[in-house]
Amino acid sequence: QQPGLGALLAGLRLSPRARPVHAVSDVSFTIQRGEVMGVVGESGCGKSTLGRMVAGLLTPTQGQITQTTAPGAKPRPLARQMIFQDPFSSLNPRHRVVDLIGEAPRVHRIVPAAQLDDYTTEMMERCGIDPSYAGRFAHQFSGGQRQRIGIARALAVRPEMLIADEAVSALDVSVQAQIINLFMQLRDEYALTYLFISHDLGVVRHLSDRVLVMYLGRIVESGPVADVFDRPNHPYTSALIEGVPRLDRRRQVYQPIQGDMPSPLDPPKGCHFHPRCPHALPRCRTEAPRLRDIAPGRQSACHLNDQK
Ligand code: SF4
Ligand code: MG
């Protein structure tokens, strides 16, 4: 078996009223080591929940995530690290950069105490942060630099996989390109695997090998990124590529009663996409399509494939 990561998830999240919400369900995929897997879909589709489960921050109530390693190698603790849109939104902005990056390696004894300063400096250099800034505080940095610090912080625990959730979405386009280049450089240097979650299809196309398209907590299509984006199979993928704003405009003109993506609390029966799908068949209202192979390496969950 190839080293990599397999996920077979039927995740449940509890709402405040303890009613189970299937934020993600029946999701199954495998990522090969060194691969960049993009995840796209409108906000609320479950891609962040999926990312958090893969990172180990949320525990799926059903299903599992398995990580297979090279023969003889043991899976490392902290092997999967999450990179958020704003790495400092939940951290004390008055921590010095050197402490932010060095804390986890110190606590988890990733390097001997005597080497910690050198190690922290190395992480800063690898991520393009001037080591002379080590004593500065997070709030003194720009968004792009803060993201570099966030990446250095994640890298410092020697992860095998980074889960990036909208990690470049808040940045200016030029800074975005620099951070994407950093991700790619680190992939080569550290043989990292990525789950790259973004609503930005251009960014996902640029750096992913394969892509998962999610709709209302399920994967509706997957495959090599260029293939999926150039020849989408699923009507939802087509709509996403044509442009979500355009889909929204059209809906406002033709279907003013339809809301946005239906709530996961009350998903439509059958194919979850049927209320918005221009190709819906009668059976789409009652029968949920299964994600299945439509070509080598390509999967889609749409009844139209039965008619081809
Ligand atoms: Fe549209 Fe039916 Fe395919 Fe769902 S299964 S995407 S409703 S055609
Ligand atoms: Mg999100």
Please give the pLDDT value at position 54. 86
Give average pLDDT by consecutive 10-residue segment, the chain, 308 residues: 51 38 71 90 85 84 69 71 80 83 93 95 96 91 91 93 93 93 95 92 94 92 96 93 55 39 79 91 96 94 91
- Ligand 2 centroid–CA 254 distance in Å is 28
- Ligand 2 centroid–CA 217 distance in Å is 12
Distance in angstroms (rounded) separating the CA atoms of residues 145 and 233: 39
Please give the pLDDT value at position 79. 84
- Ligand 1 centroid–CA 201 distance in Å is 22
Distance in angstroms (rounded) separating the CA atoms of residues 182 and 128: 8
Please tell me whether residue 92 adopts helix, strand or coil conformation: coil
Closest CA to 189 of 121, 124, 126: 126
Q: Does ligand 1 come within 6 angstroms of the Cβ of 280?
A: yes
Please give the pLDDT value at position 256. 28
Q: Which two tokens stand for residue 119?
A: 């190690």
Please give the pLDDT value at position 224. 97
Predicted model pTM: 0.86
Which residues, by Cβ under 5 Å, contact ligand 2, an ion? 48
Phi/psi of residue 214, nearest 5 degrees: -115, 145
Locate the DSSP E strands across 105-226.
161-165, 193-197, 210-215, 218-224
CA-284 nearest atom, ligand 1: 2
